[in-house]
Amino acid sequence: MPEGPEIKRAADQISKAIGDRPVTEIFFAFERLKPYESKLTGRKVVSVTAKGKAMLIGFDNGFSIYSHNQLYGKWVIRSAYSYPTTNRQLRLAIHNEKKSALLYSASDIEVLTEPEILIHPFLSKLGLDVLDEATTVEQAIARIQDKRFYRRSFISLLLDQGFFCGLGNYLRSEVLFVAKIHPARRPTDCSPEQIAALAEAILSVSRQSYQTGGITNNLEWVAQLKTQGQKRYEYRHYVFNRADKPCHICDTPIVKEFAGGRRYYYCPTCQPR
């Protein structure tokens, strides 16, 4: 599933392609959304905003298209009406005179008014957005210390979009490594210094991933590993997807475990239980 950095980068690309231009045609695959095709054709896209793992495309008549990529959704930007060769099913297409923004495979698509956005069952429950520039370390510390979350293990807590929105499976492992916290620990098990380190890592690692297209590893190490001929999947992360490989800091083999059917990774030396 794409995480916050990937959705925000997709939002940037969509905004560049179709933002501030009139829509010449719009296509919805779902019959329940067909009535909105005529309401949005000819209107101008005024905003494209990532909301954690979801996206809102706003139009100048007050409507917004909500989408969530879930596991398989994928946005593709092409020249107008130039469709890629793919076995994926087209769910949404927004065209202007030069570009087309195409959403494949996603099934969670709605058209919302501004009041409906405020009470939307997913959007209204989102926690602090890790990629919102207005989110501060102090706010993140307060969130981690909130009694609603205080006794939940980080294994599950960091995937809860009501805690922090935009975090996902690879970011969970990466921010815990940077903060030197074992995944099984809870906020109540942590010192004030550890909570501060985690708050800083949640924001800094997520934002670096957005800026670099998914690289969470130390960028100086990345440069060195590149010169050694390592490939992207080898240098991209600190611990995620690196089971049994040596920790970049201490050479201890990285451990891979599962919780709720989803994998996570950690260094047993740098992140003692």
Instruction: Locate the domains of the chain by residue range.
Output: 4-125, 128-266
Q: What does the pLDDT look like over 68-112, one tens digit per residue?
A: 998 899 999 999 999 999 999 999 999 999 999 999 999 999 999
Contacts for 179 with CB less than 8 Å, ≥ 6 apart: 194, 197, 198, 200, 201
Q: Which CATH superfamily is domain 4-125 in?
A: MutM-like, N-terminal (3.20.190.10)
Contacts for 136 with CB less than 8 Å, ≥ 6 apart: none
Centroid of chain to Cα 245:
26
Confidence class for position 1, pLDDT limits 50, 70, 90: confident
Q: Is the pLDDT of residue 19 over 80?
A: yes
Domain covering 128-266: architecture: Orthogonal Bundle (1.10)
Active site residue 2: yes
Q: What does the pLDDT look like over 28-56, one tens digit per residue?
A: 999 999 999 999 999 999 999 999 999 99
The one catalytic residue in 39, 232, 245, 262 is: 262
When the pLDDT of each residue in the chain is averaged and rounded to a whole number, the result is 97
User: Are 215 and 206 in contact, with CB atoms under 8 Å apart?
Assistant: no
The one catalytic residue in 9, 51, 53, 207 is: 53
Active site residue 3: yes
The β-bridge relationship of strands 255-259 and 128-129 is unpaired
Active site residue 245: no
Percent of the chain beyond pLDDT 90?
A: 98
Token pair listed for 137: 């370390």
Predicted pLDDT of residue 2: 85
- Do the domains 128-266 and 4-125 match in fold? no
Predicted pLDDT of residue 71: 84
